[in-house]
A and B are shown apart, each in its own frame.
Chain A
Amino acid sequence: MFRNLWKWIIIPLLLVTVGIVIVIYTVNNPTDSLVARVLTYSNVLRALSEHMSLMLVSMFGAILVGGLVGILLSRPELYYLGRGVENIVNIGQTIPSLAILALFYTILGLGFRVAVFALFLYSILPILRNTFAGITSVDTSVIESAKGMGMSPFRILAKIELPIAYPIIIAGIRTAVVINVGAATLATFIGGGGFGDLIVTGLSVRRDMVIFTGAGLAALTAIILDYIIGQVEQRLVRWS
């Protein structure tokens, strides 16, 4: 009971508090007037909310599409196609996120939506790959015994394949979130906003404090989300 409280409430709260302390400290102790003008509560909050929107919207789409496509490709009829897609995904993953953003900038132009779309595409990859890998790694004898006991393909997917694959799928989502939060700092280059705004402004006016605040908050966001999803993952593998 106490362990649960600690794991699910106290640690995340501590991490959030660290973020709040960083913000309060830097806003109240600007090194000069230029820093004071950039680091206001409203600027930091706007960066935070933009960053979160970028992440949430793109992740929501990525989980939906990546999960569904992963499930589809894992069906026996599409298995070989899935193997091919898996390879393409692995190659796609090696393209730097900045290059992806640049690519979409040239095709679609500037703005929040373009940034979301680029992040969405980039986050699909680990989710799709892990969903496919997780489902296809389920022992064939397990599927066969389910089939032999009269479960329909849909029931087998919902009751057997997905639950067994959950830990791997969640691990994919976790990877995607961390990548996503990191890559979202680049959205500023195509006018997507987020903590990247703080970092780039800090760079252009040469104020370390601004850079650190932006980078620190982005990193902290990634750490918190990674931690929480990690806990969910642990809960799901009670059985192994």
Chain B
Amino acid sequence: MIRLENVTKKFPGMKAPAVKGLNMEVKEGDVCVLVGPSGCGKTTTMKMINRIHEPTSGAIYINGEDALKMNPIKLRLDIGYVIQEIGLFPHMTIEENVATVPNEKKWPKDKISKKVDEMMTLVGLDPKVYRKRYPSALSGGQRQRVGVARAMVSDPPIMLMDEPFGAVDPITRARLQNEFLRIQERMGKTIVFVTHDIDEAIKMGDTIAVMRDGCLVQHATPSDLLSAPADEFVASLVGRNRSIKRLHLVRIREILQEVDRAKPATVDMPLDELKKRLEDSDIRSVMVVDRDNKLKGIIGVDDLKKKTGEVAADYIQDITESVTSDATLNDALSVMLECGEGYVAIVNEDDQYEGTITLGDLLNVVKEDG
């Protein structure tokens, strides 16, 4: 748990304080996202928590203990820190970079090595390929992921993350966000997360703290923020299409049980049965799976006319995109728009078919909430 009480930070030589009388509490196991325009004091707030900056006045408590009285080095060893500028050590390999904190904590060598592999795989960097590389041989997005791996490697109970996914493309970003949320669900760390991107804030945050000119404007759950923005500023920040933004808040698996859709066909299903399945389907197509329930492709009503054959396998078409059930409805919407289809297939991590959702399902969710 992190509590800021009346925290003010004024940099020497600056007229206005960068952070003014901030009161905020982040509950244990919560992700608190700081959003706000550039220069509003997000980074400064974060850096006061691990005492990179000392507050000019006010108090900070971490798990009830006065952080300003703690040994800063001990404090920081238990707070994972991803800085905005990434700050990898240029003279160390990726492996050595990731192993920084375990080395400081003097873990045994084999434990470090195992954990480094694990973390690199987690952030999507193949250890075999990247272990021995230097940061200069990585792309901006890859460096950022190393930064995240480095901060998480020793499993700190608290994490401070300053725009950790700022430099990765939207698709990788969505993947990292989902990965992050999956880990977070298991680990339940207390996280302060800075971003410029209100969509990211809505998706990632248990709570969102909106800042402006060094002040906290509103601190609420994403849902409350969307339905009751405190003032014009917050309203304009979350944007006008607020009900669409709700799609960020709902995971696909939460609505998957409720949708009632035709069962998938199997590859060896005879033609008659396949036709019946297609008639039952509200999207004029059925998904096709193999014996292990792995998604193989799709058959549309029109495909039956174009080809001939005895079983489903003869008519099957490739399927270009699918999403996993822990993605948000907004991710599903993106894929639908990208592929120009009104539906998308949902699979689990092993590519096993879990269901299909349609644009109509998404609209229902937006309507219900609105």
Please report A residues at the B interface, Cβ cutoff 8 Å: 139, 141-142, 144-152, 155, 160, 163-164, 238-240
In the complex, the answer to whether A139 meets B104 with C-beta atoms within 8 Å is: no
Say which residue of B75, B83, B91 sits within 8 Å of A144 (CB atoms). B83
Is B140 interfacial (CB 8 A cutoff)?
Answer: no
In the complex, the answer to whether B50 meets A141 with C-beta atoms within 8 Å is: no
Enumerate the 6 nearest inter-chain pairs by beta-carbon distance, A residue then B residue, closest first: A145-B87, A141-B85, A150-B77, A148-B81, A150-B76, A141-B87
In the complex, the answer to whether A142 meets B87 with C-beta atoms within 8 Å is: yes
The secondary structure that dominates the A interface is helix
Please report B residues at the A interface, Cβ cutoff 8 Å: 50, 52, 73-77, 79, 81, 83-92, 100-101, 104, 134, 136, 147, 150-151, 160
In the complex, the answer to whether B74 meets A142 with C-beta atoms within 8 Å is: no
* 14 A-B pairs with C-beta separation under 8 A: A139-B87, A144-B83, A145-B86, A148-B52, A149-B76, A149-B81, A149-B101, A150-B76, A150-B77, A160-B89, A160-B91, A164-B90, A239-B136, A240-B136
In the complex, the answer to whether A149 meets B100 with C-beta atoms within 8 Å is: yes
Please count the residue pairs between chain A and chain B whose beta carbons lie under 8 angstroms apart in the complex: 70
Tell me how far the C-beta of A80 lies from the nearest C-beta in chain B, rounded to whole angstroms.
Answer: 14
Say which residue of B76, B134, B136 sits within 8 Å of A147 (CB atoms). B76
Tell me how far the C-beta of A83 lies from the nearest C-beta in chain B, rounded to whole angstroms.
Answer: 18
Chain B residue numbers with a CB within 8 Å of A149 are 76-77, 81, 100-101, 104, 150-151
Q: Residue on B with the closest CB to A164?
A: B91
Say which residue of A145, A151, A238 sits within 8 Å of B83 (CB atoms). A145
**Bound-complex Cα distance A145 to B52 (A):** 10
Say which residue of A155, A238, A239, A240 sits within 8 Å of B104 (CB atoms). A155
Chain B residue numbers with a CB within 8 Å of A239 are 90-92, 134, 136
Chain B residue numbers with a CB within 8 Å of A163 are 91
Chain A residue numbers with a CB within 8 Å of B151 are 149
Chain A residue numbers with a CB within 8 Å of B85 are 139, 141, 144
Tell me how far the C-beta of B102 lies from the nearest C-beta in chain A, rounded to whole angstroms.
Answer: 10
In the complex, the answer to whether B83 meets A148 with C-beta atoms within 8 Å is: yes
Say which residue of B74, B77, B87, B90 sits within 8 Å of A240 (CB atoms). B90
Chain A residue numbers with a CB within 8 Å of B150 are 149
In the complex, the answer to whether A151 meets B104 with C-beta atoms within 8 Å is: yes
In the complex, the answer to whether B104 meets A142 with C-beta atoms within 8 Å is: no
Chain A residue numbers with a CB within 8 Å of B104 are 149-151, 155
Among B87, B134, B147: residue with most chain A CB under 10 A: B87
Chain B residue numbers with a CB within 8 Å of A155 are 104
Chain B residue numbers with a CB within 8 Å of A139 are 85, 87, 90
Chain A residue numbers with a CB within 8 Å of B87 are 139, 141-142, 144-146
Tell me how far the C-beta of A138 lies from the nearest C-beta in chain B, rounded to whole angstroms.
Answer: 9
**Bound-complex Cα distance A146 to B150 (A):** 11
**Bound-complex Cα distance A240 to B133 (A):** 11
Tell me how far the C-beta of A132 lies from the nearest C-beta in chain B, rounded to whole angstroms.
Answer: 19
In the complex, the answer to whether B91 meets A148 with C-beta atoms within 8 Å is: no
In the complex, the answer to whether A141 meets B76 with C-beta atoms within 8 Å is: no
**Bound-complex Cα distance A164 to B87 (A):** 13
Tell me how far the C-beta of B362 lies from the nearest C-beta in chain A, rounded to whole angstroms.
Answer: 40
Chain B residue numbers with a CB within 8 Å of A152 are 73
In the complex, the answer to whether A147 meets B91 with C-beta atoms within 8 Å is: no
**Bound-complex Cα distance A160 to B334 (A):** 43
**Bound-complex Cα distance A144 to B104 (A):** 16
Chain A residue numbers with a CB within 8 Å of B90 are 139, 142, 164, 239-240
Q: Residue on B with the closest CB to A160?
A: B89
**Bound-complex Cα distance A151 to B150 (A):** 14
Chain B residue numbers with a CB within 8 Å of A150 are 73-77, 101, 104
Chain A residue numbers with a CB within 8 Å of B76 are 147-150
| Apart from A149-B104, A160-B91, A240-B136, 14 more pairs, CB < 8 Å | A144-B83, A144-B87, A145-B81, A147-B76, A148-B79, A148-B81, A148-B83, A150-B75, A151-B100, A160-B89, A164-B90, A239-B90, A239-B134, A239-B136
In the complex where A150-B76, A150-B77, A240-B90 touch, is A144 in contact with B101 (Cβ < 8 A)?
Answer: no
Tell me how far the C-beta of A148 lies from the nearest C-beta in chain B, rounded to whole angstroms.
Answer: 4
**Bound-complex Cα distance A240 to B151 (A):** 23
Q: Residue on B with the closest CB to A153?
A: B73
Q: Residue on A with the closest CB to B86?
A: A141
Q: Residue on B with the closest CB to A138?
A: B90
Tell me how far the C-beta of A66 lies from the nearest C-beta in chain B, rounded to whole angstroms.
Answer: 22
Chain B residue numbers with a CB within 8 Å of A160 are 89, 91
Among A145, A151, A238: residue with most chain B CB under 10 A: A145
In the complex, the answer to whether B83 meets A141 with C-beta atoms within 8 Å is: yes
Tell me how far the C-beta of A142 lies from the nearest C-beta in chain B, rounded to whole angstroms.
Answer: 5
Chain B residue numbers with a CB within 8 Å of A146 are 87, 89, 100
**Bound-complex Cα distance A53 to B342 (A):** 85
Tell me how far the C-beta of B160 lies from the nearest C-beta in chain A, rounded to whole angstroms.
Answer: 8
Q: Residue on B with the closest CB to A145?
A: B87
In the complex, the answer to whether B134 meets A142 with C-beta atoms within 8 Å is: no
Chain B residue numbers with a CB within 8 Å of A144 are 52, 83, 85, 87
Chain B residue numbers with a CB within 8 Å of A145 are 81, 83, 86-89, 147
Tell me how far the C-beta of B56 lies from the nearest C-beta in chain A, rounded to whole angstroms.
Answer: 19
In the complex, the answer to whether B89 meets A148 with C-beta atoms within 8 Å is: no
**Bound-complex Cα distance A144 to B73 (A):** 13
Chain A residue numbers with a CB within 8 Å of B52 are 144, 147-148
Chain A residue numbers with a CB within 8 Å of B92 are 239
